[in-house]
Amino acid sequence: MLAEKVFAVAHLADQVVLWILVVLSILSIGMILERFFALRKVSGESQKVRAQIKRALETNSVEDVENIARDINSVEGRAAGYAMKHMKDSGSRGLEEIFNSYALTERPELEKFLGFLATVGSNAVYVGLFGTVLGIMKAFNDLANAPEAGQQTVMAGISMALVATAAGLFVAIPAVISYNVYTKQVRGIFQSLDSVKELCLAYAKKKGI
């Protein structure tokens, strides 16, 4: 009795799984594109700041952090601007906390949708595999109910069932790749932010703030 109910569900659920994967694919592609354009701009500005930091270290000119602080287009520049304002008002005490607080406020925006992409990348294959299992169950159940249909019916059913696994891979692979690439970009931005923080601390010591 229970097995019959399971097979009845399998006759419908395999198609439902495919539609779920289609929806996940559309959502993940949209999020991948949104993060691509958003992080490309932020990462590009961050690379410019890293070049400025490198020049400041090569020339031993920590005062270059003042130029970085004027750059309101970059995450690091805005943080340096807040740090400069804090140093003028309160000195260097609490400077690290300013940077840490700023990083905490920026992190959710920079990591937007990455959790979803990670979840899809980790689980879409299993969703597709689940659809395949349901499809195979449906194929063999059809053969049991209609033995005269023969091997071709089973093979056709199995081939259709394997579409779910392929769909799961189609959804998971771009999500995993995008997640890894974007995570690396975000990590690079925060590393650059840490470099600006250290440069600001060196600036404060040099100026005796």
Stretch among 40-49, 79-88, 146-155 having the lowest mean pLDDT: 146-155
Confidence of residue 32 (pLDDT cuts 50, 70, 90): very high
95 or 138, which is more confident? 95
**Residue 182: what pLDDT?**
96
Q: Mean pLDDT over residues 165-187, rounded?
A: 94
Instruction: Indicate the pLDDT class of residue 57, thresholds 50, 70 and 90.
Output: confident
Global pTM? Answer: 0.85
pLDDT band (50, 70, 90) for residue 7: low
pLDDT mean over 196-207 = 85
Cβ–Cβ < 8 Å for 91, 23: no
Is residue 69 pLDDT above 80, yes or no?
Answer: yes
Query: Does residue 8 surpass a pLDDT of 70?
Result: no
Contact 176, 197 (CB under 8 A): no
C-alpha closest to that of 198 among 48, 59, 92:
92
Q: What is the mean pLDDT of residues 110-115?
A: 94
User: From residue 32, how far is each of 20, 44, 116, 202 by CA, in Å?
Assistant: 18, 18, 10, 38
Domain count, the chain: 1
Q: What is the mean pLDDT of the chain?
A: 85
Q: Identify the domain containing residue 180 by its residue range.
A: 2-207
25: its two tokens? 């694919």
Handedness of CA 146, 151, 156, 162 (dihedral sign): positive
Position 131 scores a pLDDT of 84
The pLDDT tens digits for 133-153 are 887 877 777 777 766 656 666
Residue 13 is inside which H or E element, if any? Answer: helix 2-58
Question: pLDDT category, 177, cuts 50, 70, 90?
Answer: very high
Of residues 112 and 16, the one with the higher pLDDT is 112
